[in-house]
Each structure stands twice: as C-alpha cells, then as structure tokens.
Structure 1
Amino acid sequence: MNDLPQDTPAKDPFHVGEQALQTRAGKRDRMREIGRRVIRPFMPDQHREFFGQLPFVVLGSVDADGWPWASIIAGQIGFLSSPDPKQLDVNAMPLVDDPLGKALSVGTPIGLLGIEMSTRRRNRMNARVTRTGTGGFSLGVDQSFGNCPKYIQTREIAYVRDPGAKGAHPATRSFEHLDHAAQSAIENADAFFVASSAQPAEDSIADGVDVSHRGGEAGFIRVDGDTLTIPDYVGNFFFNTLGNFLLTPKAGLIFPDFETGDVLMLTGTVDLLWEDDPRVRTLQNAERAWRFKLDHGLRIPDALPFRSRSTRDI
C-alpha cells in the first residue's frame, strides 16, 4: 500500500470549461464535491496494478502546430509499470509515423487512458513526460481517476505478433479528405478515442491534455463528407472532453480497426451542439452532440499487434 495522504485536493479539480458545462447541466455543486473526492494527484494501488495488465494504452498529445492527436501504444502484458504512485513507465514507443513520437519531451502534457476491453474497466490519467529514452518514457501524474464502463463494447484480444518485433509495416498514408474506405470504417465503428486539450486556468489544478473513449452501437457516428456528427450521451458529468472543446475547439480522433489492425488517425476542429439544437434531437438518446471537421489525418496499416472481436460474435 502507498503511504500518500488520502485527503482531497484543496482546489476544484475541474477547469473553467468543465465547470461551465457542469453548470449548464445543473450539476456544478455536486461535481465540485465528487471531483475533490475521486480525482487524485496520484494513482491508487488498484490503478497501478490495472495498468500493468493491459495490452495497450491510449494517449493524447498536441503537436507543434497545436493539433491534438489520439494514439495507441501496444506491448506485451507488463509493458506498463508503476514504480511509485506518482509515476507510470511506458516501456514501448509510438509507431514511427505517429505524431506522438515527436511530442515526447520532458514536461510535455499527455493524456492517458487504460481500457480493458474484456472487463470494460477503464482508468484515466492526466500527466506530464518526466523521462524519455530509446525504448520508452515515463509519465508523472497530475490527475488520476476512474471511469464507469458505459458504452464500452466487450472484446477479447489475441496477439498476432510480438509487439516488440522490429520490421517494416505498410506505408502510412496522409490525407486531407476522407475517402470512401475511411467513411465506411467510421460509419461501422462502435468505438473510438478522442484527445482534447485546454489551457491552464489560474483557479484550477486541471490543465493539459485529455484522452477519452467514445462508444455506441455501430452507426452511432454520422458521416457527411469530411464532417462527423457525434452524439454525447449521459455520463459522469465530468465533461473533460467537452469542457476542453469549450476552451480549445480542436480534437484528435483515432479509430482502431480491431479486425485488420489498421488505425485511422484524424485531427480537426470542433463545434458543440447544445441540447436545444434540432440536430441533437435527431440523435437517439443524445444529451448534446459535437461536430468534427477534418483538417488532416493518417492511415497506418497493420498498426496493432493484436486482433479483437466483440464477445457478441463469439
């Protein structure tokens, strides 16, 4: 067990964007107290153990031009380890063409999401790079907290190759428009991950980069050319992603194809659609929504060393 104090942060753990969304939803007072209780400046032991049993982790970063990116790093079980409650070591590196690689320097804010598809558990971290090396890097914890399993499709994962094996993979393709294959992949997706960022607020300890899971039944994302309309369902009222959008209306999305191993990485601008917008009413069960407009993206074939299928198909 760690010996860090279990008291709550003295300051509100939510920044002004998150606070504004909580106020709009009528949850501000409640979330202030919940946030102080469950958002910690260190990882509890169960989170440290949880990260150590994952085959992949999702990270959020921002490139030199201010565009956010969501990325996936995979490894053998145990590639994530925590020597103490304030540090997570990632003993693997991003894919060669992933923008995350250029963003990894000491002090850089990074968002991190650990998700175990077989159990639907997920834990989040907002952190900063504290060490870089040829085979990995370390993150220092700013905020650590858990998330509920809502909207996660249960999947079983099996490796198809050694994640650490070096070798050529098919060429990465960059693009500025979604072709038919990309549109079809997005329309059929039941999950993706979104990175967002916000500037620090003077009255809050929260800042930096966040990365989050979004899921639903296949077809929950509407595609219109290079624009995606994404419903926002009822959740935990933290509003980490939408609160960031309110301050910095940009997003990085990653769509992993669990059957082929390909990943589609997009970055672009965001518009929020509020609950009284008629477009929201056409989205089943949506509380609000957001529209993503592509600026540019990457398709990395065979990026994942594992394959996965929904347990509903087994």
Structure 2
Amino acid sequence: MSGFHAGELAVQRRAGVSQDAARLSAMVAPASLGAGMARFLAERTFAAITARDGAGALWTSPLTGPPGFLHVDSATTVTARTSPAEGDPLHDLPADQPVGLIAVEFAIRRRLRLNGTLSRAGHEGLRVEVEQAFGNCPQYIQARRLRDAAATTPAAAPVRRGTELTPDDVALIRRADTFFVGTTHPTRGNDASHRGGAPGFVRVEGGGLWWPDYPGNNMFTTLGNIHADPETALLFCDFATGRTLHLSGRAEVGWTDPGAPGDDDRTGRRVRFTPGHVVAGRLLPLRADSVSPSPHNPPLAGR
C-alpha cells in the first residue's frame, strides 16, 4: 500500500510536479495513528465517509455526533459511534469493503483523511481498519462553527431519489462553497476528500457539473483515482438549513490552457462530473450561522 499508484503518478507527470510529489510519498505509507491524530478525531463532530451501498453504488455521506463519537482504538483502528442516517444512501452499508473517511474541523481549518477497510457496520457504529492516514493543508476550508441542531430540527422531510438534478439541486450546488468528493481505485480502495472555493466555483452545465482544480499538495489522490477509475461520488451540505445532496456518477479529468474560462487559479485542470443517481434530503443535523471565507479562495474567472 506504500507509494503512489499509477493514476496518481500519471497526473503528477502531466501537472509537472513529480519531484515535488515524491517528497510526500511517506504520507501514503502504512498508517500509525498517534496521540495527536487520536486527540483531533476525538474532538470532531463532523466527518464524511466514502463507501458502497448494498447494490454496489459509490456514495459519500456525512457522519456526525458529539465530541468523542470518533475514537482511535489502536494505531490502526478507528471506531465511529454512529452510522449514516435513515434515508441516507449509505444507511445499512455493508461491512467488509474499502472506505475513505475525512474528519474536518472547519473552525480551525484542519482535516484528516483515513483510508482502509470497514470491518464492522451496524446501527451501533462503524469500525475501520486504517491503512493510510494523513493530514491536508488548510487551503480552501471556509471557517464555520458547527452546532448541534438535532433537538430543534423538525421531523425529517421525505428523501428524494432520482437520476437528474432539479432546479433546487442546481441552486444548492451553485451557492456551495464546500463539497466532498469520493473516489475509488481498483487496489487502493476508496477515498474521501474536501473541495472548497468561493460560491459559484462549481459550475452546472447540461445536466452535469464541473469545477476547476486548485493547487494543493501535489499528491493528486483524487485526480489520480479518477484517472484510474471514473466512478465518483459527491456530497453537498447546506450548513444553514441541513439540506444534503448526494450524487453518484462518473468523473473525468480535463486539461485546458492555463487561464481558460473558468480556470480560476490557472492550473489548467478541471474535473467534469455526470450524475447517475441523486439523493436529496435534509440529513445533516448540524448548523452554522456564519462563515468566514478561506483567504486562499481564488476569484472566479469567466465561465
């Protein structure tokens, strides 16, 4: 499991950052969860998980709970004392499958990614045997303080399932400053990652959507996985209302001239996504009343 896979290496070469990425290869070495990671996870109230439902479709879903709901049991094992909500496409997800997990503290702009195998799943919680664990930089995380709204939230509205985006879905995407992307690899398993930018950085066109790829750590885990396997899942959360939008479909990495329309940060990279399945509901029991944009958000370029 150590080292970059062929998809990551291909994107790194195309982006011209192979040498920079090679210096980070230790980040994808076999995991060892130390005291710092254990404390960070124990204090979190929000995470997102990428996994497959009983029919084999890939999804990314929110996991929430009070501080302590994420617990490091050993140097390679994490327990989540929760499971995806009823109505979520990953409710009753099967065990014995690869999963990706990302825990985020928006207020201090920190995130931690864990990849491994789901060894236990049920209403009592999830257990992940962790194979990779690494932090990401604070870029593009919009600062917001999440609070528990479960006690004041009205009864859950019906969950809509379909294959196409509705006008309400499009409006949610176009005002989003944050979303989560789940990807997969034939031998490395699943991954959950974060994307952020100014509202409008995700463009919706022709029944699909796309976003420019901003500069990051040059590992290209997400784009490398898409290069190897186009199956992709997206999760949008409206932190003001609790509304959620799950999308499962296919993505492709596109390359343009730097500075082309929509190339906000002039990387010449973008990801196009075509949804195959849509689940929309109000499945996030957390709220945030205000947001402080990331100072790293580039201004939106022409579309």
In the other structure, the counterpart of 2:107 is: 118
In the other structure, the counterpart of 1:198 is: 185
Q: 2:175 aligns with which of 176, 188, 194?
A: 188
Q: Is the 8 A contact 2:27 2:133 kept in 1?
A: no
Distance (Å, rounded) in 2 between the aligned partners of 1:38 and 1:178: 35
Distance (Å, rounded) in 2 between the aligned partners of 1:198 and 1:56: 25
Q: 2:133 aligns with which of 123, 144, 169?
A: 144
SS at match of 2:123: coil
Distance (Å, rounded) in 2 between the aligned partners of 1:263 and 1:291: 20
In the other structure, the counterpart of 1:86 is: 76
How many positions carry a matched residue from both structures? 292
Q: 1:59 aligns with which of 17, 28, 49?
A: 49
In the other structure, the counterpart of 2:285 is: 305
Identity %: 34
Q: Is the 8 A contact 1:178 1:225 kept in 2?
A: no
Q: Does 1:173 align with 2:163?
A: no
Q: 2:86 aligns with which of 84, 87, 96?
A: 96
Q: Is the 8 A contact 2:212 2:262 kept in 1?
A: no
In the other structure, the counterpart of 1:239 is: 220
Give me the CA root mean square deviation: 2.2
User: 5+ unaligned residues in a row in structure 1: which ranges?
Assistant: 1-10, 201-206
Q: Is the 8 A contact 1:131 1:139 kept in 2?
A: yes
SS at match of 1:128: strand
After TM superposition, the score normalised by the length of structure 2 is 0.90
In the other structure, the counterpart of 2:298 is: none
Distance (Å, rounded) in 2 between the aligned partners of 1:146 and 1:176: 34
In the other structure, the counterpart of 1:134 is: 123
Distance (Å, rounded) in 1 between the aligned partners of 2:17 and 2:238: 36
- The one-character-per-residue Cα deviations of 1:51-86 (angstroms, maximum 9, x if unpaired) are 111111111113355432110011111111112121
Q: 1:160 aligns with which of 149, 167, 176?
A: 149
In 2 relative to 1, CA 34–227 (structure 1 residues): closer, same or farther, beyond 3 Å? same
Distance (Å, rounded) in 1 between the aligned partners of 2:16 and 2:2: 17
Q: Is the 8 A contact 1:196 1:250 kept in 2?
A: yes
Range moving further from structure 2, 245-254 or 93-102: 93-102
Distance (Å, rounded) in 1 between the aligned partners of 2:208 and 2:258: 17
- The one-character-per-residue Cα deviations of 1:256-279 (angstroms, maximum 9, x if unpaired) are 01011010001111122114388x
Q: CA deviation at 1:235?
A: 0.5
Distance (Å, rounded) in 2 between the aligned partners of 1:283 and 1:53: 36
In the other structure, the counterpart of 2:296 is: none
In the other structure, the counterpart of 2:190 is: 209
In 2 relative to 1, CA 111–117 (structure 1 residues): closer, same or farther, beyond 3 Å? same
Amino acid at match of 2:253: L
After TM superposition, the score normalised by the length of structure 1 is 0.87
Q: Does 1:252 align with 2:244?
A: no
